[in-house]
């Protein structure tokens, strides 16, 4: 019994000794450092996988754009629907014998409107399009025309139209909206008089026909 008691006492003293406690601290510190390194490497590896997947599907990456276009089956399509083309022809007929004005179709707002020092505003309208744009002989935008057909109003269309209206107003560009109910109207009699009124107006106006 004395032997056992002495052995237990020695073990107890060893466990409570400063040297043993220091050894435990070193082991714990090493384990912590090893765990920290493993955790860091795991997080870094998972991020690399996530970034690789993101880059693979990112449309802003030019290599992806080439890959996406190569794999797609592309077809041409009409620039305008039938009703829009009718309006375009009426506008072309109005300006075919003059060099003072020209009409273009499906123009991105970013091509004729700019936002000074405000990238968020630019990105809000840059890729939105106007159906028709009338410019003067110097290339300055004069009148933007939107054809709001019967099937125009859908998800977010009103908010999208509001953004464009604000752009035209702020940039000093006249804006004509052709509502779908005007399908039965004679565009040459309804639209052209409004266009002629605005060509020489200096204050931006919004007209609905």
DSSP secondary structure letters along 23-53: HHHHHHHHHHHHHHHHHHHHHHHHHHHHHHH
pLDDT in tens, 48-72: 666 665 566 677 788 888 888 898 8
- Is residue 77 one of the residues assigned to a domain? no
The domain of 20 spans 2-57+63-70
Same domain as 112, residue 18: no
Same domain as 92, residue 21: no
Taking the model in full, what pTM does it have?
Answer: 0.68
Q: Is the pLDDT of residue 14 over 60?
A: no
Res 98: pLDDT: 84
Instruction: Find out whether 175 and 167 touch, Cβ atoms under 8 Å.
Output: no
Q: Is the pLDDT of residue 147 over 70?
A: yes
Same domain as 124, residue 172: yes
Same domain as 34, residue 93: no
> Higher-confidence residue: 31 or 192?
192
Domain final position from 70, 102, 130: 70
| Token pair recorded at residue 185 | 């109207």
Cα 63–chain centre separation: 19
| Token pair recorded at residue 55 | 């880059």
Q: Is the pLDDT of residue 88 over 80?
A: yes
Same domain as 192, residue 130: yes
Number of domains in the chain: 2
Identity of the highest mean pLDDT range in 23-32, 65-74, 127-136: 127-136
Same domain as 87, residue 52: no
H-assigned helices in the chain: 2-16, 18-57, 62-71, 82-95, 119-125, 157-171, 187-198
Res 96: pLDDT: 87
Same domain as 182, residue 103: yes
Res 46: pLDDT: 65
Same domain as 100, residue 201: yes
Domain final position from 70, 91, 109: 70
- Is residue 75 one of the residues assigned to a domain? no
Same domain as 86, residue 52: no
Same domain as 86, residue 144: yes
- Is residue 155 one of the residues assigned to a domain? yes
Q: Is the pLDDT of residue 146 over 90?
A: yes
Same domain as 133, residue 49: no
Domain final position from 29, 47, 70: 70
- Is residue 76 one of the residues assigned to a domain? no
* CA separation for the pair 25, 204 (Å, rounded): 78
The mean pLDDT value for 180-196 works out to 76
- The pLDDT confidence band at residue 171, using thresholds 50, 70 and 90, is very high
Same domain as 87, residue 125: yes
């Amino acid at each position: 019994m004395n032997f056992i008691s002495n052995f237990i006492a020695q073990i107890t003293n060893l466990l409570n000794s400063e040297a043993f406690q220091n050894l435990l601290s070193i082991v714990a510190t090493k384990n912590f450092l090893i765990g920290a390194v493993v955790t860091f490497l795991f997080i870094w590896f998972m991020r690399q996988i996530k970034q690789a997947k993101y880059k693979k599907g990112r449309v802003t990456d030019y290599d992806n754009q080439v890959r996406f276009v190569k794999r797609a089956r592309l077809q041409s399509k009409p620039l305008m629907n039938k009703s829009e083309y009718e309006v375009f022809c009426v506008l072309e007929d109005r300006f075919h014998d003059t060099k003072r004005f020209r009409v273009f179709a499906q123009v991105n707002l970013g091509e004729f409107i700019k936002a000074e020092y405000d990238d968020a505003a630019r990105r809000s309208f840059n890729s939105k399009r106007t159906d028709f744009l009338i410019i003067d002989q110097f290339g300055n935008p004069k009148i933007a025309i939107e054809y709001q057909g019967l099937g125009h109003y859908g998800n977010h269309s009103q908010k999208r139209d509001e953004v464009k209206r604000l752009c035209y107003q702020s940039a000093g560009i006249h804006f004509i909206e052709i509502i779908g109910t005007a399908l039965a109207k004679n565009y040459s009699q309804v639209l052209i008089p409004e266009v002629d009124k605005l060509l020489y107006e200096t204050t931006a106006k919004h007209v609905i026909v």
